[in-house]
Amino acid sequence: MKKHFDVGIIGGGIIGQSIAYHLAKEGVSVLVLESHKIGTGATSAAAGMLGANSELENNDAFFQFAKESQRSYHILRDELSELSNINIQLVDNGMYKLAMTETEAESLKAVVKKHETVEWHPKEVVLEREPTLSSLIKGALYIPEDGHVSPTHVCAAFSKSASLLGATILEHTPVHSITKTATNEYELSTPVTDFICNHVVVANGVWSGYFFKQLGINAGMKPVKGECLSVKSNEINLERTIFYDHCYIVPKGDGRFVIGATMVEDDWNIVPTIGGIQSLIDKIKPIMPSISSAQLIDTWAGLRPQSDDGRPYIGQHPEGEKIYFATGHYRNGILLAPRTGMMVRDLILNKQQNEDYMNAFSLTRKHAQTMR
């Protein structure tokens, strides 16, 4: 006999687990099917920056969505710790987006006018607060709201909490196909067994593209590999995350500094290469010379799922099937996980939705905006 669930979620990364958690809290019977182990894909590869301001440039629906998600981490920290006794390692010290040239400085100063929460800090202020940085910097944009979490801790906390609230979470269980049954339910076919669900959520990152194709959805999805490394050094002390030219240095609460990330398009191989590591070191050295004497702790890589316009796909199947998508979060999966979980929960439970978000993340939207 096949097992039956109300909602079957394909993908046990931070997005899938956030959805599972938010649904389980409402008493929904949830199944999560993960092909490998929980949180070991793009989730574990991320540095955990909550860069709503630093990553997004326009004050649009996407930005609002990101800010809401960022804020909800403060509530989740306590909620998840209460339930699962796992600490998501939220750090709230803000971020410096550096200018290394006068042109960059001008461009960052212009941002201050648009966003009231950010400030321009001249070189002297930045160096006094972060003396580890190079004296060649020209100043920095200070973004007090852009903190960071530990992605694996968040994912584990969502997962354990969902599980304690009744969700079934199966690792090593890849889904090969979604097929509709005679009774208008969905069968999720796996090597282990088959599962019957009333609703299905596709949330397995770049591998979601396979189900787009299987379900006849015409939406782009490709991997952008990101390589990272972590270092340790008593000579480096950073209070805030540092961001420059798509690279970042995130000071972790265990004394490590996470440095990332390369962007290699259309590479499906999840190993960090010597070339990738070299390029990161070359980029970080001018902004923080003492990196040279730091100890290399670890290197890793992950595949960011990239849609055609760099924004996520969050929404229902265009033809009204009870199949939902939550993927394509690109560089912002950790940031957007909480709000994405809530949005999918509301879609499934037929609660009222923010129309702007539904349009912005629809699978059939026009991709007017160019890729970031």
Taking the complex as a whole, the smallest distance from the CB of residue 47 to its own copies amounts, in Å, to: 15
Taking the complex as a whole, the smallest distance from the CB of residue 38 to its own copies amounts, in Å, to: 9
Smaller CB separation from its own copies, 159 or 332 = 159
Q: Is the peptide bond before 261 cis (omega within 30 degrees of 0)?
A: yes
**Residues near 8 by beta carbon (within 8 Å), at least 6 away in sequence:** 30, 31, 33, 186, 188, 195, 197, 199, 200, 201
Smaller CB separation from its own copies, 91 or 314 = 91
Whether 178 and 195 have beta carbons less than 8 Å apart is answered as no
Smaller CB separation from its own copies, 61 or 281 = 281
Beta-bridge mates of residue 98: 140
End-to-end CA distance of the chain: 48
Beta-bridge mates of residue 315: 325
Structure tokens at 280: 């990161």
Whether 6 and 196 have beta carbons less than 8 Å apart is answered as no
Taking the complex as a whole, the smallest distance from the CB of residue 85 to its own copies amounts, in Å, to: 5
Taking the complex as a whole, the smallest distance from the CB of residue 350 to its own copies amounts, in Å, to: 30
Whether 173 and 38 have beta carbons less than 8 Å apart is answered as no
Smaller CB separation from its own copies, 112 or 281 = 281
Phi-psi domain of 328 (left: phi exceeds 0; alpha: psi -120 through 50; beta: other): left
Smaller CB separation from its own copies, 155 or 348 = 155
Taking the complex as a whole, the smallest distance from the CB of residue 268 to its own copies amounts, in Å, to: 5
- Residue ranges binding its own copies (CB under 8 A): 35-36, 81, 84-87, 89, 91, 93, 153, 156-157, 159-160, 163-164, 169-174, 176-177, 189-192, 206-207, 209-210, 213-214, 231, 234, 237-239, 251, 253-255, 268-275, 277-278, 281-282, 291-296, 299
Residue type, 101: T
Taking the complex as a whole, the smallest distance from the CB of residue 294 to its own copies amounts, in Å, to: 5
**Cα distances (Å, whole numbers) of residue 276 to 211, 266, 279, 283, 288:** 30, 15, 5, 11, 18
Measured CA to CA, the distance from residue 149 to residue 161 in angstroms comes to: 17
Smaller CB separation from its own copies, 33 or 360 = 33
Q: Which of 98, 225, 222, 74 is nearest to 154 (CA)?
A: 74
Smaller CB separation from its own copies, 180 or 268 = 268
Taking the complex as a whole, the smallest distance from the CB of residue 368 to its own copies amounts, in Å, to: 27
Taking the complex as a whole, the smallest distance from the CB of residue 330 to its own copies amounts, in Å, to: 17
Smaller CB separation from its own copies, 75 or 192 = 192
Residue type, 244: Y
Whether 204 and 42 have beta carbons less than 8 Å apart is answered as no
Measured CA to CA, the distance from residue 154 to residue 286 in angstroms comes to: 32
Taking the complex as a whole, the smallest distance from the CB of residue 272 to its own copies amounts, in Å, to: 6
Smaller CB separation from its own copies, 103 or 268 = 268
Q: Specify the 3-state DSSP secondary structure of 233.
A: coil
